[in-house]
Every structure is written in C-alpha cells, then in structure tokens.
Amino acid sequence: MKKVVSLLLLALMLVNLAFAQQDPKAGKILNAMSQKYKTMKAFKADFAQTLENPSAKVKETMNGNILVSGDKYRLGVSGQEIISDGKLMWTFLKDANEVTITESDEEAEAMSPSKIFDMYKKGYKYAFAGTETIDGGKYDVIELSPEDRKNPIYKVRLYISQKDKTLKSWQMFRNNGNRYTYTIKNFQANPTLAADAFTFNKAKHKGVNVVDLR
C-alpha cells in the first residue's frame, strides 16, 4: 500500500517539472502551468490511477482525492489517508482504524504534493511532443526524460490544457513495463478549508489506535 502512495507522490512531483532550456516551447508551457497552480491558495481534486502492463495482461484502476494548501496536504487513496501539516504526518489506515504519527523529514517533504511546484529545475529533460484533442479540448503534450539513466522511470508524458494551462492527465513509463496513468477529475481551485483540514482529528475516529513514532 505504501508503494502505491509513494508512486502517486512521485507522479505528482513530476507533474510540474520544467528544467534547463532544452526545448524553449516546452519550457514555456511548463512554466505557465507551474504559475497557474502557484497562484492558488489551495486546491482539491479527485483522480483516477490506472496501472497497465500489456505483456503481463494487467490493467487495474483505483480512485483517490487530494487537498493541498502551501506546505500542507491531505491525500486519500485505496483505504488510507495521509495528512501533513508541514511538520507532522499522520497515516491513517481505515480498515485497521489505526493512525501512525511521524515527524516530516526532508526526504518525505521533497516528495510531498505541497512541494511539487517548486521542484522543477533539475533532474529531467523536456520536449514538446505535439497536441492532442481529448473530450473536445486541446492539450499540449510534453515528454520528460530523466538525466539519470538509473531512474526506473524512463519517460513521463504530460497533457496540459491549452485553454487554462491546467493538467488533464499524465503517464509514467517504467523500465519494468508498467505504465501508470493519472487523470484529474473534479478539480477545484481555492476551496473552503475546514479548521482541521490538515490535522488528524482523533475525536472523529472512535477507538482509533494511535502509533506515535515522533
């Protein structure tokens, strides 16, 4: 389960990469997308993740949701919820009714959804790969490739709206033949935030087992 969440966080981190100017047109599109999200005080969205491996005849889809504001985020996927206020992280397993509390560390925060729009200046090359029409909308397609050849992800393909510079979907291609597709649904900018949006409220989970690893 943690592997699935880590893949999601990595994917979200890769969404907004804009690097050294290998392709000026692609760089301009990526920077416009980055600026679009940075102007928001918060955003939330539903998403679908599909894993495909044609040679292994595998195709699996799961749904999730995410809420982000500054350094804080709440991520729900496949029976678990990860909440961070920028200092502490709560991982809540719904079936087990158990929450684990840890301090946020530099590595974990570097991969967090709240940091993805500040992590775009190193590590990948980018190129403009044309345009596609999806559900009647026009999208610019940007392909990213890692500078580190040992990276298990050899390509990331982004679909960015020409109309409003938002991200429609992205695909991650791994060396083991797996392809992950993430599709954003029901995106909302600047939603109203509850007071406890980025903390775990124990009172809402009767009998929850708390594992405090701080």
Whole-prediction pTM = 0.75
**Amino acid residing at 67:** L
Per domain, the residue ranges of the chain are: 2-212
Given phi > 0 = left and psi -120 to 50 = alpha, else beta, which region is 114? alpha
Computed over every residue of the chain, the mean pLDDT equals 84
Give yes or no for residue 119 having a pLDDT over 50: no
Which range (23-32, 93-102, 114-123, 195-204) has the least confidence? 114-123
Strand order, beta sheet including 43-53: 124-134, 137-146, 153-161, 167-174, 179-189, 43-53, 58-69, 72-77, 80-84, 88-93, 98-103, 209-212
Q: What is the pLDDT of residues 66-114, one digit of tens each?
A: 999 988 999 998 899 999 998 999 999 999 999 999 998 765 554 455 5
Token readout for 115 is 């940091």
Q: What is the mean pLDDT of residues 158-176?
A: 90
- Indicate the fold that domain 2-212 takes in CATH: outer membrane lipoprotein receptor (LolB), chain A (2.50.20)
Q: What is the mean pLDDT of residues 191-212?
A: 95
